[in-house]
Amino acid sequence: MRALQASALAVCGLIASACGGTGSGGAAAGQAAPATVVEQAPAKRTPAKQAPPDAKPLEGKVVVIDPGHNGGNYRDPKAVNRQVNVLTKWKPCDTTGTETNSGYTEAAFTWDVSQRLVKVLEDRGAKVKLTRTGNNGVGPCITQRAAIGNKAEADAAISIHGDGSAPGNHGFHIIMPKKINGPVDKVVGASSKLGIDVRNAYAKGTGIPYSNYIGRNALDYRNDLGGLNLSTVPKIFIECGNMRNAGDAAKMKDPKFRQKAAVALANGLQQYLKA
């Protein structure tokens, strides 16, 4: 009896096994076996595209900076006083420029501001060219200064100066070209736009007021400057302040102010170039 029961149990075990029964850990009798899980290969991940770095605002723009005069001009009066044709008249090749009552020269001021301006503009992506390479030489002539901007096919050119007016006069002004039936005629309108943008930015960035002695709202139009008359690219002059005025001179001698001036000029140029 016990042997028979054992056999019967063995047979039932075989039947259960054949019907899908399992031992410990398996599905209970009468339940379907779990579906076979098919492992899928992990999906290929496409590397995330990195956003390109922001383009610099003046990328691809060419700016010519003309630091007025030169520190060595006083050493060669013959070369500096040589007469050149500026189309509306004959003028000296260049001048020594002015200076403050304490002897800080216009040439030194314009060179320093120009160097600072180069750095700001290059940091913003512009290609920058100067009309002179230092502050110990002579010239170049006003005609050559215009030619440098023309050859570079500048998108904008700026000549940086400090005025030497009467001590009671103060403030800055922008000088822009007039039509003269010459090469500058085609860029007179663009030069005016450049001048207004630079004027606005310079006033905002430096706190120097508009000139109280020349121009209207710091804007002056002239037809006797070779650097403008001979330009075929948009170009302006800026008289950054009156170096003979005590208040203006104190600012212009201060390196912190000169840095502010450079940044303000860069902002004005950028406003024009991005418009």
- Of 220, 181, 229, 178, nearest in space to 198 by CA: 220
Locus of tokens 């630091």? 67
- Count the helices and strands in the chain (H runs, E runs): 8, 8
User: CA-based angle 81:181:80, to the nearest 5?
Assistant: 10
Q: Assess contact for 81 and 73: CB atoms under 8 A.
A: no
- Of 188, 190, 34, 61, nearest in space to 123 by CA: 61
Q: Assess contact for 172 and 253: CB atoms under 8 A.
A: no
CA distances from 116 to 38, 67, 124, 213, 256 (A): 68, 11, 13, 28, 11
CA distances from 215 to 85, 211, 218, 223 (A): 25, 7, 5, 14
Write out the two tokens for 224: 């006797």
Write out the two tokens for 160: 């940086």
Q: Which residues are catalytic?
A: 239
Write out the two tokens for 241: 């302040």
Write out the two tokens for 32: 């379907």
